[in-house]
Structure 1
Amino acid sequence: MPLSSPLNVPPRDVPGPLIAPTETAVDSAAGHKIMQQLIHLRWIAVVGQIATIVFVTQVFRIRLPIAEMCMVLAVLIAFNVGSHLRWHEKREVSYPELFFALLVDVAGLTLLLYFSGGIVNPFAFLFLLQVSIGAVMLRRRGAWAIAGITLLCLSGLAIHSLPLQWPFDPERGIESLYIQGMLLCFALNGGLLVYFITRIMSSLRDRDAQLAELRQRAVEEEHIVRMGLLASGAAHELGTPLATLSVILGDWKRLPEIRKHPDLLEEVGEMQTQLARCKSIVSAILLSAGETRGESSKRTTVRGFLDTLVEEWRASRQVEAFEYTNAIEPGLPAVFDETVRQMIWNVLDNAFEASPAWLRFEAQRDDSRLVLRVSDRGPGFDPDILAQFGKPYASSKGQPGRGLGLFLVVNVARTLGGSVVARNREEGGAVVELTLPLASIDSGSGVQV
């Protein structure tokens, strides 16, 4: 009787080096899972083989070399125990190691067939299962090697094997024990192949989806780099005209004609305020690009940073009703740079554009995460926008070039190991929830975007 150990692949992972050497991190985890599945299925095969030996010897009274077959099973059990101990500690699986594991299954099947009739054993066709496993899981050369080795083993069994003491009576048709064994072998082969191949194809589709997502992320990050270069260049070019305007406004403010008119003097002062804000924006762009204008990241607390951020944002926005709740405990240290500040401002600005009459900003700590929640009473997100949330130029404002704010928010949060989730409120409006790991903004690491 034969030993069969089909390689049952987890539906979410396929070992990359055996199919397409693309993502090492995904491949390593997938290879380890497959090796674990192979170990588990080998246990099932050993148990099934023992049950088969007991059944054919006790029910059909067929004589088998029990001692020799038990030795083969003992070796497989010892190999499986060693494999379990090894792969329980070591998580990386190399291509030769998986190839060797499949060779062990082929060798076990060959030896058990040798002691049970060789090629005349109807279960000899289970070699096709091993070939199919190799064709799906191994590289081209490895798959051909498994096919060649199984062919050599089958040829050797046709020449040398211990005779099987059973009535070889194919002329009895379906009543023949040999025909029944062939039908059972075909059922096993067909069932396991359908089950195995369908799961492999599902795994390949999932893996392709993961790779497509990684490629999309790479494209988005390249898009951000281009935007950063353009923004940095624009900031450099804006420096000179802004400085010139600052000097001109200072001269205007000292002119007697303007000083005599309080309204004009107030307007010049407002222009200087807005000009100072423009300089601050330019400084923020250069700071994010690593070219500071004198400012730098400061050590502070999460609560203090958010309080200051909200105070500055409210001073430059005429929101009618603004609800702010900061539930972060005092003294929690952090290092924030301008990128994080601008990310939160973008979320607030988008909510303000949708709902200038009312806005709510909540901050709280959830274990090791910082959770920031911005709510508004605007029209909410369209279903199509929610489905593409965080994609560039996905905006309901209907204007060219819009939608980049939330795109940058999502990518900055992802770079920090966090996430951004958007949903519509049942009572109207929308909620954008931003989650950041506290480890990415602690006082030891700072923020690296």
Structure 2
Amino acid sequence: MTIPATLPTVAAEAPAEANAGRRNMALLIQLRWLAVGGQLATIGIVTGPMGISLQRAPLLAAVLVLIAINFASLALLRRGRAVTNAELTAVLLFDVAALGWQLHHSGGLANPFASLFLLQVVIGAILLTPASSWAIVAAALAAIGVLAVDPTPLVLPPPYAADPMGLYLKGSLVCFLLIAVLLVAFVTRISRNLRERDAALAASRQRAVEEDHIVRMGLLASGAAHELGTPLSTLSVLIGDWKTAPAIARDTELQQDLADMDAAVRRCKAIVSGILMSAGEARGEAPQVTTMRAFLTALVEEARAGRMPGTVEFNDLFGADLAIISDPALRQVIGNVLDNASEVSPEWIALTASRDGGMAVIEIADRGPGFSDEMIERFGQPYSSTKGRPGGGLGLFLLVNVLRKLGGSASVANRDAGGAVVRVVLPLSAVAADGESV
């Protein structure tokens, strides 16, 4: 069976791209509000203190159009879906058209603010695909061409009529400062968005690699379970025969050893059956409905089997019990954590269960050597182990990924009193039986 390596990565990249599109649209909305405020201030200053006559109606109409575009853009964001390149292109084309309309009614190319087309071209080049960026360039050139044909001239009052070039240069300086400030602010924000997107893509790719690794491990585990079934059954039959053999039946010590061997074989068979059931190969097996307290108690009792009395402590702070669907994978990974804790701390381990709102919190503590800084940094990565044996370090890796599938999380830390603690946070809604309120 071949595992496709590209499909998970493509699926994982989609949310990151979708978030980038939404952030870019939100940034355009903010810039457009700044443009609306700047245009209203400019109209007020030019027609007020400067005394230059402008056609206010068409200019204010363009401002209203920009406000309408912003509200439409906000509606796109509220729908919760990705913002596409076509939608970003459309709103930028509206911006180009609105600027062209305002310049047409305020002097055309003689207006120093005609350079603002450059800002929109740069924004398009950063945010859009190459084809859409060239569409913005074409739209800006078309607007400039239209502005060259019969624009509404500016009628300058006497203080400025004597030196129109001086007024143009001052306006050009203001326009340059405006473009420079907006570009720095915009490019800085876009760079941050791109860094966040790249980080999200890297995390998504890493998650896809880990999930692919788990699939391969599952295939190997399922195959090994099939192969182990026959020898385990043979061992079980042989142990049964030895128990009834006359020479052995009279030896009490051998009978005790055989009983221990039989219990170990039964446990191995149960583990194999659990692997096959998790792989979907069990037949006639319905999901088991139990309660959270019974689920945790079973984990503790299994950890206590074969250990000295009093070495496994169970602190039940969960509160009101809850009916859940027992998940074999969850039971197995938490059992692995208990086994790991018992290996490094055979004299004492503790499982503490509590509830934080709609989350179950399970903490497994020990008095072992604790985690090194490197282990804590690499927590959740495969083959990160202090045991030094081949294939080690998969227990916490599987724990993290099983909890991730259920919407939960896991963390590790060192205890002040010595030893380590593994903290599992699990949404109760992910395991609650149908109809149960969490």
**TM-score normalised to structure 1 length:** 0.88
The CA distance in 2 between the partners of 1:252 and 1:60, in whole Å, is 110
Pairwise mapping of residues 246-257 of structure 1 onto structure 2 (< 5 A)? 246-257=236-247
Query: Of 354, 357, 360, which aligns to 1:367?
Result: 357
Letter in 2 for 1:426: D
Q: Deviations 1:180-200 (Å, cap 9, x if unpaired)?
A: 221221111122112211221
Residue equivalent to 1:312: 302
Q: How far apart are residue 132 of structure 1 and its match?
A: 0.7
Which of residues 258, 266, 271 is equivalent to 2:261?
A: 271
- Among candidates 275, 281, 291, match of residue 291 of structure 1: 281
Larger deviation, residues 77-86 vs 211-220: 77-86
How many positions carry a matched residue from both structures?
424
Q: Secondary structure at the match of 2:313?
A: strand
SS in 1 for 2:50: coil
1:124 Cα offset (Å):
1.0
Taking the TM superposition and a 5 Å limit, the aligned residue runs for 1:108-147 are 108-147=98-137
Aligned equivalents of 2:82, 2:162: Cα separation in 1: 50
Deviations 1:24-56 (A, max 9, x none): 444445434443443343233222211111112
| Cα distance per residue 1:109-165 (max 9 Å; x no partner) | 111111222112211111111001111111111100001110121122233312223
Counterpart CA distance in 2 for 1:288 and 1:21 is: 24
Q: Verify the 8 A CA contact 1:303 1:330 in the aligned structure 2.
A: no
Partner of residue 388, structure 2? 398
- 1:169/1:178 contact within 8 Å kept: no
1:359-388 CA-partner distances (Å, limit 9, x unpaired) = 111111111111111111111111111111
Contact 2:112 2:175 in 1 (8 A): yes
Percent identity among equivalent residues? Answer: 49
| CA distance, structure 1, for counterparts of residue 164 and residue 61 of structure 2 | 35
**Aligned counterpart, 1:165:** 155
**Matching residue's letter, 1:50:** L
Structure 2 Cα separation of the partners of residues 389 and 80 of structure 1: 44
Map residues 13-412 of structure 1 onto 2, 5 A cutoff: 23-84=13-74, 88=78, 91-166=81-156, 167=160, 176-292=166-282, 296-318=286-308, 321-412=311-402
Match of 1:8 in 2: none
Q: Is the 8 A contact 2:12 2:204 kept in 1?
A: no
Paired amino acid for 2:276: L
1:6: which partner in 2? none
Q: Does 2:403 correspond to 1:436? A: no
Q: Flag the 1:64–1:318 CA change in 2: closer, same or farther, 3 A.
A: same
Change (3 A) 1:202 1:21: farther
- SS of the counterpart of 1:62? coil
Which runs of 5 or more residues in structure 2 are unaligned? 1-9
* Structure-1 separation of matches of 2:243 and 2:365: 41
Q: What's the CA shift for 1:95?
A: 3.2
Equivalent residue letter for 2:196: D
Measure the CA separation in 2 of the matches of 1:70 and 1:23.
42
Partners of 1:117 and 1:161 within 8 A in 2: yes
Distance 2:311 2:365 in 1: 12
- Deviates further, 237-246 or 156-165: 156-165
User: Does the aligned pair in 2 maintain the 1:296–1:337 contact within 8 Å?
Assistant: no
- Per the normalisation by structure 2, the TM-score is 0.90
CA contact (8 A) 1:287 1:296 kept: no
* Distance (Å, rounded) in 2 between the aligned partners of 1:131 and 1:445: 56
Alpha carbons of structure 1 residues 127 and 268: separation in structure 2 relative to 1, 3 Å: same
SS state of the match for residue 201, structure 2? helix
**Does 250-259 or 313-322 show the bigger shift?**
313-322
- Equivalent position of 1:7 in the other structure: none
- Give secondary structure in 1 for the equivalent of 2:353: strand
Distance, in Å, in 1 between the alignment partners of 2:97 and 2:11 is: 28
Q: Is the 8 A contact 1:416 1:437 kept in 2?
A: yes
Contact 1:119 1:154 (8 Å CA) reproduced: yes
Displacement of 1:238 in angstroms is 1.0
**Deviation of 1:85 (Å):** 5.3
Moved more, 379-388 or 23-32: 23-32
Q: Please tell me the residue identity of whatever aligns with 1:230.
A: L
2:305 match: secondary structure: helix
Instruction: Give, in whole Å, the separation in 1 of the partners of 2:363 and 2:254.
Output: 41
Deviations 1:339-368 (A, max 9, x none): 121111011112112211221111111111
Q: Does the Cα contact within 8 Å between 2:12 and 2:205 map onto a contact in 1?
A: no
Give me the whole-angstrom Cα distance separating, in 1, the residues matched to 2:263 and 2:96: 80
CA contact (8 A) 2:359 2:428 kept: yes
Whether contact under 8 Å (1:319, 1:357) holds in the other structure is no
